[in-house]
Amino acid sequence: MLALMKTEVWKLKRYHMIWAGVLLMLLSVLLTVFSTTALDGTVWTFPFFVEQVMKNNITTIFPMCIALITGYSISREETDDTLKSILTVPVPFPVLLSGKLTVCGLLSLFLGIVSTVSTVAASFLLGFPGGDLPAIIRAAAQITLNCLFLYIAVLPVIAIAARIPNGHLIGAVVAFVYGYGGMFAAGNVTLANFYPVTASMGLVGYRSYDEAVHWDPLVCASSLSAALLVSVVFVVTTKKSASTKTNKKPKKVITKKGW
């Protein structure tokens, strides 16, 4: 497994999808920066800015971003026609998938760090107060762990999409809707604890200081554990042979009639 994970890391070299991920994380910060320009009387501080970045990560950017990157790294084995060489090593497809998903878990931590660095940098550039060292450490832990927990929340979508040839785009769209659903789930205390996307917020103590926010860490952890378990079941039961390579249908030639 270690060798497999090592090769999965090597495959990421000169991989443009990683840069797409980095840019999307920067976009999340940029979107928050834009919202600071609204003259709605909000008092912007470093902790509040961090919370807004996390909100954008959760509901808009990260689920779609990680589902796209992970899904693409799975489907490229078919599009690059490398699956046949891996299966004849032999590495069974569920084992290959497990290796990829583990490495993408590490990648989600990396993207969390990117998000933290850009958030701290943007906050300093905008001159928000409250950006002392303890606050920065807390923000780093919250943003980075939140990315990992969000990844676990989205894992079932990725695992199901892996069964569909070139299913990474479908996976990304579903993950976006699933992440956006977090915005509605957050409105209900019970649902927020159960819904895996919002449960990730509960585990990192998002707005725990607010008396109106009630997280149940046990329920949140159970929700994400269930998501992880469902993913494991989907991964273990995935069967794929090299012959599933999709063939494009030839384009129908339309001949002009008449003048």
Q: Which residues bind another protein (CB under 8 A)?
A: 3-4, 6-7, 10-11, 13-16, 76, 80-91, 241-243
Q: What minimum distance in Å lies between the beta carbon of 4 and another protein?
A: 7
Q: How far is CA 252 from the centre of its chain?
A: 38
210 contact partners, CB below 8 Å, separation of at least 6 = none
SS3 at position 199: helix
Q: What minimum distance in Å lies between the beta carbon of 13 and another protein?
A: 6
Q: Please say whether the beta carbons of 113 and 22 come within 8 A.
A: no
Q: For residues 32-42, b (16+ Cβ closer than 10 Å) or e, as one string?
A: bbeeeeeeeee
Choose between 75 and 223: whose C-beta lies nearer to another protein: 75
Choose between 83 and 175: whose C-beta lies nearer to another protein: 83
Q: How far is CA 55 from the centre of its chain?
A: 13
Q: What minimum distance in Å lies between the beta carbon of 85 and another protein?
A: 6
Choose between 135 and 242: whose C-beta lies nearer to another protein: 242
Choose between 241 and 246: whose C-beta lies nearer to another protein: 241
Query: To the nearest 10°, the Cα dihedral for 19, 24, 25, 30?
Result: 130
Q: What minimum distance in Å lies between the beta carbon of 121 and another protein?
A: 29
